[in-house]
Amino acid sequence: MEELQLNSSFATLPPQFYTRLQPTPMPEPYLVCASESAAQLIGLDPAQFRTERFVEIFSGNSILPSSTPLAAVYSGHQFGVWAGQLGDGRAILLGEAPAPAADHPAVLELQLKGAGLTPYSRMGDGRAVLRSSIREFLCSEAMAALGISTTRALCVTGSDQRVMRETVETAAVTTRMAPTFVRFGSFEHWYYNDKHEELKILADYVLDRFYPELREGGNPYQAMLTEVTRRTAQLMAHWQAVGFMHGVMNTDNMSILGQTLDYGPFGFMEAFNPQHICNHTDRQGRYSYSMQPRIGQWNCYALGQAMLPLIGEPDDVHTALQVYSSAYTGKLDELLHAKLGLQTLQPDDQKLFDEMFSIMQASHVDFTLFFRRLGEMRIEDKASDEPVRDLFIDRAAFDAWAVQYRARLLQEHSRDDVRRVAMHAVNPKFVLRNYLAQIAIEKAQNKDFSEIEKLLKVLEHPFDEQPENEHYAVLPPDWASELEVSCSS
């Protein structure tokens, strides 16, 4: 552990950007779970997981000599309403670790989530709870395995310290990793406080560290807004294509790198319903599945407003934001073609997609199982339809759509064996269903962490058949529909 040398480029920013402070120690911490693949990104030997030193450092009870702990300030729009100053109310940045196995740039910030009170905690207690920490850990690693841009989770440490949420729960700390935790709300903070000098300092920091190639143009700030907008649009397409719902798409939860950030009341679509709301705190459905693409765009407009003093002219901001629609529709179209095993583009493809989603909605078809089983269909063998056909209440509607789908496959001379391999490579068999996470959480609350480890290993290979783990890929039980997740964490 002592060989883990941390730097902190964020700490080189002026002091108004953060507060230096130490994490609040947790009483008698213990390891709940850890990710070997995340550890490998920063060259950390998984054998360290079993050491007391590892638990002490990643619970916030001990600080590496090279660490410069701090909590960052930011603001944001929450549920579409300006919320003013927010900031890291329970997260503390330890520093940046070299990450030779990660994508460019080759450093990852390590952040403790749930590490105690900060000046930005407002009415909170600075702690996270075991329940939500396990969910964030598993989903961060599951999304990475799905190939979706995301922050990573190194580990979760727990304690018997009790904290009050909707009920009394126990405390936990998640160690998160990302190239940066700068958010849309980080820019909004300086804009709405009329601090244009600080706004420029932050933009220059992000440009120089993460978008240096954009410095070559005439308006690098406009170029950065364009690139962030493009990445965000493509991220939304990836979420929609896999049935992922974030639940709290506030501007303070939007990464400036287009990564999935801040896993709270998330969910993966089961019985398909475009209006599904995964967060029971979201009474108006602002962050429902069908709204996510529009909210992603709304958030980019909020960022554009914050960057206006740097970009110069409203028309230049508008030009940068215009990339959203084409980036989103282009990526989603590409992903849907891949999910259906289609290799060419045809004029009526959108109609085929629309009718598919319509019959899925009418029969409340399980999202993940539909696409996975669709890959087993054979053009000349209607009996092969049965596994996917059985998901439908209205089987006649599926049969009518299947006629169109087969005709489309014949049009491009599709081969069953080739198509099956291609479809199974993009349509996961295993996703983090809420009930699977709940089972793991309930065992963990009794100090049995074995189910987290089993589930993690399954989710790290979501596209593999894994016949020995078939029970993780079946329709959810009836009680799963009664589970609710909210913003309390």
329 residue type, one letter:
T
Instruction: Measure CA 171 to chain center.
Output: 22
Residue 454 marked ligand-binding: no
DSSP 8-state secondary structure symbol assigned to residue 249: -
**Tally of residues, the chain:** 489
- Helices 292-311 and 220-242, axial angle in degrees (round to 10): 170
- Helices 323-339 and 349-362, axial angle in degrees (round to 10): 70
Residue 126 marked ligand-binding: yes
Residue 217 marked ligand-binding: no
Whole-angstrom Cα distance, residue 88 to residue 95?
A: 14
Contact 138, 432 (CB under 8 A): yes
- Helices 220-242 and 196-210, axial angle in degrees (round to 10): 70
The tokens 């069953």 sit on which residue? Answer: 416
Whole-angstrom Cα distance, residue 94 to residue 109?
A: 7
Do you find a cis peptide bond into 105, omega within 30 degrees of 0? yes
Whole-angstrom Cα distance, residue 456 to residue 16?
A: 39
Element (H, E) at 32: strand 30-34
Whole-angstrom Cα distance, residue 107 to residue 345?
A: 39
For 149, the token pair is 């841009």
Instruction: Measure CA 478 to chain center.
Output: 26
The tokens 């990793």 sit on which residue? Answer: 177
Whole-angstrom Cα distance, residue 30 to residue 138?
A: 18
Contact 176, 152 (CB under 8 A): yes
Residue 176 marked ligand-binding: yes
According to DSSP, the β-strands at 267-268 and 244-245 are antiparallel
Task: Using alpha carbons, select from 425, 445, 17 the residue that is nearest to residue 201.
Answer: 17
Bridge partners of 93, per DSSP, are 70, 111
Contact 14, 55 (CB under 8 A): no
Residue 87 marked ligand-binding: yes
Whole-angstrom Cα distance, residue 245 to residue 291?
A: 10
Residue 262 marked ligand-binding: yes
Residue 395 marked ligand-binding: no
Cβ-based burial of 125 (10 A; exposed 0-12, middle 13-18, buried ≥19)? middle
Residue 125 marked ligand-binding: yes
Residue 183 marked ligand-binding: yes
Residues 6+ apart with CB under 8 A from 465: 429
Whole-angstrom Cα distance, residue 152 to residue 475?
A: 28
Residues designated catalytic: 252
Annotated binding residues for ATP: 87, 89-90, 113, 125-126, 176, 183, 262
Annotated binding residues for Mg(2+): 253, 262
Annotated binding residues: 87, 89-90, 113, 125-126, 176, 183, 253, 262
